[in-house]
Structure 1
């Protein structure tokens, strides 16, 4: 049983810092908030008078809009900025920025190129720091993924998810972490160059505790029998210099009708978006009957509200 007060004031930088019970609490809260949302309870000003600062080094659609709308529906004031609009763009240190804005705002959400930037913000700010995406993890996305699978499959336990493509990216990492916490079987199917070997080793104790399984393979036949097939773009922001090599290595890992047929009719298709149609996924899959990507996208709103409430209420 989780005491909600135990989450208050904490950072949300990595799901590694949260227990299985705490993650389940956040998911249950997300599901409850979504239910209330569809009953017409869309504006619940529990956090009136609080302010969320969003610092985004990278462009964003789902993360920016979902956090802004979530905070607004909870009664918060939202300030959106990029480093060029702050003194960060003129050389002020992350530490100095954190010390200053901490005197003004109640929470900081940051979308950054380097994970270390989040850790630096958290080191010098008392206000909770929320990871809105870094080069290592995307925990807000993982929460929405888990909520979506819970809704579609009717359970959180015993799920089998195959991530196909770049297995060493932020979305794959957070999927591995939440899967390890919830006892899933997560299969990373990727070229050997993009295997998340280091993270898999770090999760060994967690998987032993929960009974989860992490399988790393370069064989696309290993999608057979899974509950979900997940993919992400092959060339993320900041990787443009290696785009040609990445596309060449990852081309055999495209999620298309043939691969989904191998996975089976029970498998749903997942993507964190934005999608590069015709690269990592074909139109007939992302727009097809097995696709749940739009449900994933919507659930970013409800899980964002849950995180803000848990950290601030």
Structure 2
């Protein structure tokens, strides 16, 4: 693995290796301690972050590397300075550049001009680091290959990476969303027969995992009212959870808008794994950094 721009770019063996490595980090906080001693890891955030920033910084430090955190104010990616020039400059200072950006094309351009590995910390197209943590969390419940994973909500970046990951590991993936909010058609074309899109919320029947995300992501605030109307019948509540298997778990990448895409009752349900899932962001980030630099 030279870069991690999206789950769509990985083969099954690489993805399995990342999940297995994440499991080892999950079992022992001391595993891999100091493995990247002296490493220089750049963390660029064009948009706000809690879990991604903290998990990435802590992962770097616990592996012995030095994280350098930058924001758009300092860098001016694509405005004050061209993406290509930013890539060439940071490449001289850093061993790895991880970025949270609005436009996935900027990641691709960074990867073109930088020799250092580029990691996607979230773009408009994919959220691969989240997906590795999601797959780890699912595998702690049952093997992904034996699971029916149902994503309810907007066919967004989180959905894209999750569906690609579940499909690559041999699981069954369902996406339930209102018409007009389906996942990216080019990505769906890569997983024909493994991912099915429904508009009927009742399609959660028999699921092993129910997953949801916010209805309006960062940058879509102007669409919030329209999206609330479109997604009104797609809230994950106790009734929907009850239609899944009796041991089904609930996942959410967080932050959750309680009372919108999910009820308090489900977030706080005994079968909710959202905080295990959040913790797993740390373990999966360590696995990704070690795979690229170890």
2 CA distance for matches of 1:192 and 1:132?
28
Partner of residue 60, structure 1: 49
2 CA distance for matches of 1:90 and 1:75?
33
Q: CA deviation at 1:192?
A: 1.1
Q: CA deviation at 1:156?
A: 2.8
User: Do 1:179 and 1:185's aligned partners in 2 also have CA atoms closer than 8 Å?
Assistant: yes
TM-score by length of 2: 0.97
Give yes or no for the alignment of 1:27 onto 2:19.
yes
Q: Deviations over 1:3-40 (max 9, x none)?
A: xxxx3xx1000112211111111111111122122xxx
2 CA distance for matches of 1:254 and 1:88?
37
Q: CA deviation at 1:287?
A: 0.5
Change (3 A) 1:274 1:288: same
Give yes or no for the alignment of 1:232 onto 2:213.
yes
Partner of residue 271, structure 1: 252
3-state SS of 1:192 partner: coil
Partner of residue 114, structure 1: 103
Choose the corresponding residue for 2:124, options 135, 141, 161: 135
3-state SS of 1:102 partner: helix
3-state SS of 2:106 partner: helix
3-state SS of 2:197 partner: strand
Give yes or no for the alignment of 1:255 onto 2:236.
yes
Moved over 6 A (4+): none
2 CA distance for matches of 1:291 and 1:162?
14
1 CA distance for matches of 2:184 and 2:108?
23
- Contiguous gaps of at least 5 residues in structure 2: none
User: Do 1:12 and 1:131's aligned partners in 2 also have CA atoms closer than 8 Å?
Assistant: yes
User: Do 2:145 and 2:172's aligned partners in 1 also have CA atoms closer than 8 Å?
Assistant: no
Q: CA deviation at 1:197?
A: 5.5
Give yes or no for the alignment of 1:76 onto 2:68.
no
- Contiguous gaps of at least 5 residues in structure 1: 1-6, 208-212
Q: Deviations over 1:269-299 (max 9, x none)?
A: 1000000000000000001111000010000
Q: CA deviation at 1:42?
A: 6.0
3-state SS of 2:49 partner: coil
Change (3 A) 1:119 1:286: same
1 CA distance for matches of 2:122 and 2:204?
27
User: Do 1:143 and 1:303's aligned partners in 2 also have CA atoms closer than 8 Å?
Assistant: yes
Aligned pairs for 1:1-313 (under 5 A) are 7=1, 10-37=2-29, 41=30, 44-88=33-77, 91-153=80-142, 155-166=143-154, 168-196=155-183, 198=185, 199-204=187-192, 213-313=194-294
User: Do 1:229 and 1:267's aligned partners in 2 also have CA atoms closer than 8 Å?
Assistant: yes
2 CA distance for matches of 1:104 and 1:187?
43
Partner of residue 3, structure 1: none
Change (3 A) 1:90 1:163: closer
Q: CA deviation at 1:203?
A: 2.5
3-state SS of 1:11 partner: coil
Question: How many residues are matched?
Answer: 293
1 CA distance for matches of 2:69 and 2:165?
28
Q: CA deviation at 1:87?
A: 4.7
Q: Out of 140-149 and 27-36, give the one that drifted further.
A: 27-36
Indicate the RMSD between aligned Cα atoms, in angstroms: 1.3
Change (3 A) 1:285 1:87: closer
Q: CA deviation at 1:70?
A: 0.4
Partner of residue 210, structure 1: none
Q: Deviations over 1:195-229 (max 9, x none)?
A: 1260211333xx5xxxxx21110111110111010
